[in-house]
Structure 1
Amino acid sequence: MKVDITDILSIENKIVEQQVLSDLAVFKSKLGEFSITKKAPFVLHLENQDNKRVLIQGETDVTIAIPCDRCLEEVSVQIHLVIDRRYPLGNPSAEEDEDAEDTDYMTGSNLDVDRLIYDEILVNWPMKVLCREDCKGICRKCGTNLNYKPCSCDRTEPDPRMAAIQDVFNQFKEV
């Protein structure tokens, strides 16, 4: 969703609060595509601060379907997003230039709310997603989901530090 903020840019110290809803339905990243299952409208606070910068603030929650890291079952993960950005107006000074953020969410006088939401999801992405704390995962050999039923595969993994000794035993095995 694009929001026109021409009136905020043109009037010094103007404050506007606007209810917006993101059009983002899928979150795409290098990890894959994840569907956004739930999103709610939220209030976006926009403020022109002395014609030097525009303050952009808002909070919302989105629910994304992410596969479990162990068994690959889809898990609905709620992510709380807090938007707090400052968009510089005019030529930024040297110290403001050092603190400058990526401003790809602004095009002329249009604010791209979907880009803001995307950036916040990217920053707040969970490190590990589990369907439940004691998830057993899937069998490496047959692919059975061990949360539902056990499999008969031999799951003992030899210690790689002992591989050289195992080779010696295999060479001198009696026939």
Structure 2
Amino acid sequence: MLMNLSGVLSEQHRPIDETVLPELESIQLKSRVYPVIQKEPVHVTVAHRKDRELQIQADGKVTLRIPCDRCLEEVEYEFLLHFTRYVDLGCSDAELREGFDESDFINGYHLDVDKMLFQEILMCWPEKVLCGEDCRGICNVCGQNLNKGSCDCEDTGLDPRMSVVRELFKNFKEV
């Protein structure tokens, strides 16, 4: 979704206050593609600050399907997007001053809302996605999802050769 910035960048500096529906269908990373299963209209405001500096605010919500980090079951993860970006179109991303953000989602007089949302989703990406706090994961021998039932794999336990190290940790354990 492209927004025309010519009104903001003109002599009149007319601010933009629009609600747009993003066209994002998926988030593609090197490892895999994460489908967008729900997206709400995004409220975007663009205001002129000075020279070629802009303030961009956006509010919206996007829900992706991401696999659980323990059991690999699909989880619906909701990204609440509420952010403000300050960009200076007068300088390149390599010359950015402190307090300004990259502006690679702006090309000429057009703001690419989908590219801006993609970057925000990447910055908000969770370190760990779990289907539940009590997720038991998968068996490291056969791959059975332990949330759905146990497997018949032999419990290997700990290596007996590590008993000396285990005793050291037990003796120096803080109370």
What's the TM-score, normalizing by structure 1?
Answer: 0.83
- Aligned AA for 2:154? D
Q: Verify: 1:33 aligned to 2:33, yes or no.
A: yes
- State how far apart, in whole Å, the 2-side matches of 1:160 and 1:48 are: 68
- CA deviations 1:104-140 (Å, max 9, x no partner) are 1010001000111000000000111111111111111
In the TM superposition, 1:20-169 aligns within 5 A as 20-90=20-90, 97-159=97-159, 162=162
1:62–1:145 Cα change, 3 Å = same
1:51–1:22 Cα change, 3 Å = same
CA contact (8 A) 1:13 1:48 kept: yes
Secondary structure of the residue aligned to 1:126 is coil
The total of aligned residue pairs comes to 163
Cα RMSD for the two superposed structures? 2.4
What's the TM-score, normalizing by structure 2?
Answer: 0.83
CA contact (8 A) 1:13 1:49 kept: no
CA contact (8 A) 1:65 1:74 kept: yes
Which deviates more, 133-142 or 45-54?
Answer: 45-54
Give every structure 1 segment of 4 or more consecutive aligned residues whose post-TM-superposition deviation is greater than 6 Å. none
How high is the sequence identity, in percent, across the aligned residues?
38
- Aligned AA for 1:143? G
- State how far apart, in whole Å, the 1-side matches of 2:134 and 2:49 are: 50
> Structure 2 regions of 5+ residues with no counterpart?
165-175
Aligned equivalent of 1:3: 3
Secondary structure of the residue aligned to 1:8 is helix
- Aligned AA for 1:24? L
- Aligned AA for 2:136? K
- State how far apart, in whole Å, the 1-side matches of 2:96 and 2:65 are: 38
- Aligned AA for 1:35? P
Which deviates more, 10-19 or 146-155?
Answer: 10-19
